[in-house]
Structure 1
Amino acid sequence: MSQKKNVVHLTTVHHPFDTRIYHKECLSLKEAGYDVTLIAPVDEQTKDQAEASKLNILPIKKHRNRWKRMLLGPLEVYKKAKKLKADVYHFHDPELIFVGWLLKTNNNKVIYDVHEDYYTSIMQKDYFAEPIKRIIGKLYNRIERFLIKRMELCLAEKYYHDRYGRGESILNYPIVNEKLINKEIKHETTNEQLLYTGNVSEVRGAYYHADIPKIMDKHVYFVGKCPSDLADKMKEHAGVKQDFLHFDGIDQFVEREVIDNYYINQNWVAGLAIFPATEHYVKKELTKFFEYMSAGLPIICSNFPTWQAFIDKHQCGIAVDPENPQEWIDAVEFLQNNPIEAEAMGYNGRKAVLQELSWESQEKKLVSWYEQLLTK
């Protein structure tokens, strides 16, 4: 670039060190020569880390109350972002869509980073009654369709093209961790530990995974943010086997390095993603798939058509019926009793990540896309 361009990433929802926003997109753009600022919620726990980070992080207040965050957060973000007069504003939350619209001028670019299918996400919120969800969902669709006309779209999933009909796919492939990639893939018949990484919620199979100790005496480790009340309910669900459930991340964000250390420092039978069938997830290729593959872990996941096709293509795990626990048992027992086949799945997954499913490929797309936008 002949002149250093000013880029501002905006979020009211995500942790300042969110993997996609901070570690992937922001640091990649900084490395490519952009002047990158991140506006994100910072509290006392993250204040010192934010001040010492590789980026310029402008803090906004972290609101514990959802409604305060949705009302006050965008206002604070807009005030700070407008002063920066950026060449590119790149926002990550649907509640910032009005902010993005207000920031758009003839002299800048505004990018809406679509992390989720927000319509189906609204439809599965358990704190809204069914009629209210339908009204909010339809209203959101109309507002979004109108406001994004002058924005660029950054899509975290391939199938989001079906919804929007345009946009640049910057997929959530993992950053290659050399320690992780170089770890020996070894499956032992005596291993009794299963791993789940990422946020824990009911729609992500919390109770399905909590069933596992009851039906097969296996320890399940959850590494990712989990509400304390949900963790308590999961333990109740596991009954006398509740001590077989282990949590790292109750009511708090889990740093990228902590998750990677679980992959590196322990051996696991498999990485789990046994989700109930919901419209929101059946077409998604989960980020945890790529991470499990990078770590050399076989995947045990629900047999939704998209997920089954992914497993079949890469030969990296076993897809099971989420409503048939016997299939879960059979999958775990197969991996335990057939270490050579389990290790082959691990190597297949890792090979796919190194050849085509790593962040390196998406980083090149992101930087090239920015250059195109800024030279138009």
Structure 2
Amino acid sequence: MSQSSKIVHMTTVHHPYDTRIYHKECVSLKKAGYDVTLMAPIDEQNDSQDEQNKVEIIPLKKYANRWKRMLFGPIQAYKKAKKVKADIYHFHDPELIFIGWLLKKKNNTVIYDVHEDYYTSIMQKEYFPKPIKRIIGKLYNGIERLLIKKMALCLAEKYYFERYQRGTCILNYPILNEKLINQEIDRSKVSDKLLYTGNVSVERGAFYHAEIPQIMDKHVYLVGKCSSDLAEQMKVHAGDKRDYLHFDGIDRFVEREEIDHYYSNENWIAGLAIFPATDHYLKKELTKFFEYMSAGLPIICSNFSRWQAFIDQHQCGITVNPDNTQEWLDAVEYLKNNPIEAEAMGYNGRKAVLQELSWKSQESKLMAWYEQLLNK
């Protein structure tokens, strides 16, 4: 690996300090000696460089309107990226596929980092009528297949191989936080609080989680970006228990350090992921699973077959039927009333993260892959 190898990561969608893009990939590459630049939507006064990790950040204009962002964001990203002349361009959003195609030359590498199953995501968008979704889905499939032929693929999920049949898996395992790994949880003094971390949306079980206080008189903390409109709808859904819902992240991105603070400063009953059954999430191993495990929290999640197999393999939680609220209640009461078993689930999860499911394993894969691409 050449110390002068120039790497540019690009996003028009994600926050500049997104955990996968910034804290995992960019920081790891910078520490390995690469010259790393990140292009991301950011306020001009906060641009330039992160002083701790020395990752240069080139600001892109932020657009409040989705359609303006999709139209104008890639244009400005292309203009700025072209000036850098990088050895590797690594982009993170499907709206940048055409820009990645334009940037690809004989003497460089372009990586498409696939964070989601975008086709399935399109097909479950509620704001598109079904005929329109089918047209957009087919159009996206055709354009994607055509434009990524000469790109390298970075896959955030194992099952994306089913769609692409090629690529390198760099999974979203957690960065080990020594404070979280070493903290002891006294299950005999567990609180009446449940934790959910990550973006809050209807597809991610927003209304299921909002229903919990009505069912079992427990407080639910939701730490992650949530629109103010959705937060208010969830409070209405909670009825007279609306004050049992606690939001940190309304209309804003929640930094990694803030989320870790929540993990380490409360004796939570469990980490939540009670999602409705949608094609988009049936096969995913959620990043929050690994984070809950790292913090020693038992998981309560939907009993999708993939999730059930994961929980069974690591013995780190309880699965429930997302449409059977009695099972939710039974799971929470079991963890409250059986502290030894709950502690064992937390221990098992943390052990799995330490042994095999941490970012350290993926970091070494990322470094080896980059070196291979540059040597090629």
Given the two structures, how large is their TM-score scaled by the length of structure 2? Answer: 0.98
Question: Superposition pairs for residues 212-231 of structure 1, below 5 Å?
Answer: 212-231=212-231
Counterpart of 1:180 in structure 2: which amino acid?
L
Q: Against the structure 1 CA distance between its residues 82 and 266, is the aligned structure 2 distance closer, same or farther, given a 3 Å change threshold?
A: same
Report the equivalent of 1:33: 33
Q: Against the structure 1 CA distance between its residues 74 and 264, is the aligned structure 2 distance closer, same or farther, given a 3 Å change threshold?
A: same
Report the equivalent of 2:130: 130
Report the equivalent of 1:305: 305
1:203 alignment partner, SS class: coil
Q: Against the structure 1 CA distance between its residues 191 and 147, is the aligned structure 2 distance closer, same or farther, given a 3 Å change threshold?
A: same
In the aligned structure 2, how far is the partner of 1:337 from the partner of 1:69?
A: 50
Partners of 1:16 and 1:50 within 8 A in 2: no
Partners of 1:185 and 1:347 within 8 A in 2: no
1:106 alignment partner, SS class: coil
Please, which moves more after superposition, 122-131 or 22-31?
122-131
Report the equivalent of 2:326: 326
In the aligned structure 2, how far is the partner of 1:88 from the partner of 1:60?
A: 19
1:7 alignment partner, SS class: strand
Counterpart of 2:234 in structure 1: which amino acid?
M
In the aligned structure 2, how far is the partner of 1:240 from the partner of 1:137?
A: 41
Unaligned residue ranges in structure 2 (runs of 5+): none
Report the equivalent of 1:343: 343
Partners of 2:194 and 2:271 within 8 A in 1: yes
Q: Against the structure 1 CA distance between its residues 263 and 144, is the aligned structure 2 distance closer, same or farther, given a 3 Å change threshold?
A: same
Q: Against the structure 1 CA distance between its residues 192 and 236, is the aligned structure 2 distance closer, same or farther, given a 3 Å change threshold?
A: same
In the aligned structure 2, how far is the partner of 1:93 from the partner of 1:190?
A: 40
**C-alpha deviation, 1:150, in angstroms:** 0.1
In the aligned structure 2, how far is the partner of 1:75 from the partner of 1:309?
A: 43
In the aligned structure 2, how far is the partner of 1:77 from the partner of 1:159?
A: 29
Q: Against the structure 1 CA distance between its residues 235 and 49, is the aligned structure 2 distance closer, same or farther, given a 3 Å change threshold?
A: farther
The question of 1:120 aligning with 2:86 is answered: no
Question: Superposition pairs for residues 196-345 of structure 1, below 5 Å?
Answer: 196-345=196-345
1:17 alignment partner, SS class: coil
2:313 alignment partner, SS class: helix
Deviations 1:251-305, CA, capped at 9 Å, x for gaps: 0000000000000111100000000000000000000000000000000000000
Counterpart of 2:67 in structure 1: which amino acid?
W
Matched residue pairs, number?
375
Counterpart of 1:192 in structure 2: which amino acid?
D
**C-alpha deviation, 1:240, in angstroms:** 0.1
**C-alpha deviation, 1:188, in angstroms:** 3.1
RMSD, matched Cα: 1.2
Report the equivalent of 2:167: 167
In the aligned structure 1, how far is the partner of 2:240 from the partner of 2:270?
A: 23
Report the equivalent of 1:147: 147
Counterpart of 1:47 in structure 2: which amino acid?
N
Partners of 1:42 and 1:50 within 8 A in 2: no
**C-alpha deviation, 1:126, in angstroms:** 1.7
**C-alpha deviation, 1:43, in angstroms:** 2.1
**C-alpha deviation, 1:48, in angstroms:** 5.9
**C-alpha deviation, 1:129, in angstroms:** 1.2
In the aligned structure 2, how far is the partner of 1:48 from the partner of 1:149?
A: 33
In the aligned structure 1, how far is the partner of 2:176 from the partner of 2:190?
A: 29
In the aligned structure 2, how far is the partner of 1:3 from the partner of 1:30?
A: 10
Partners of 2:181 and 2:294 within 8 A in 1: yes
In the aligned structure 1, how far is the partner of 2:108 from the partner of 2:71?
A: 25
In the aligned structure 1, how far is the partner of 2:159 from the partner of 2:50?
A: 37
Partners of 1:264 and 1:295 within 8 A in 2: yes
Deviations 1:62-104, CA, capped at 9 Å, x for gaps: 0000000000000000000001110000000000000000000
Report the equivalent of 2:73: 73
**C-alpha deviation, 1:50, in angstroms:** 5.3
Report the equivalent of 1:18: 18
1:136 alignment partner, SS class: helix
**C-alpha deviation, 1:124, in angstroms:** 1.3
**C-alpha deviation, 1:187, in angstroms:** 1.5
2:17 alignment partner, SS class: coil
The question of 1:195 aligning with 2:192 is answered: no
Q: Against the structure 1 CA distance between its residues 124 and 145, is the aligned structure 2 distance closer, same or farther, given a 3 Å change threshold?
A: same
Partners of 1:189 and 1:339 within 8 A in 2: no
Partners of 2:192 and 2:269 within 8 A in 1: yes
2:318 alignment partner, SS class: strand
Deviations 1:26-76, CA, capped at 9 Å, x for gaps: 0000111110000000026x7168564621100010000000000000000
In the aligned structure 2, how far is the partner of 1:359 from the partner of 1:315?
A: 21
Q: Against the structure 1 CA distance between its residues 2 and 8, is the aligned structure 2 distance closer, same or farther, given a 3 Å change threshold?
A: closer
The question of 1:366 aligning with 2:366 is answered: yes
Report the equivalent of 1:47: 46
Please, which moves more after superposition, 181-190 or 69-78?
181-190
In the aligned structure 2, how far is the partner of 1:196 from the partner of 1:156?
A: 21
* Identity within the alignment, %: 76
Counterpart of 1:237 in structure 2: which amino acid?
H
Partners of 2:48 and 2:58 within 8 A in 1: no
Report the equivalent of 2:64: 64
Deviations 1:175-232, CA, capped at 9 Å, x for gaps: 0000010110322365210000000000000000000000000000000000000000
Partners of 1:196 and 1:271 within 8 A in 2: yes
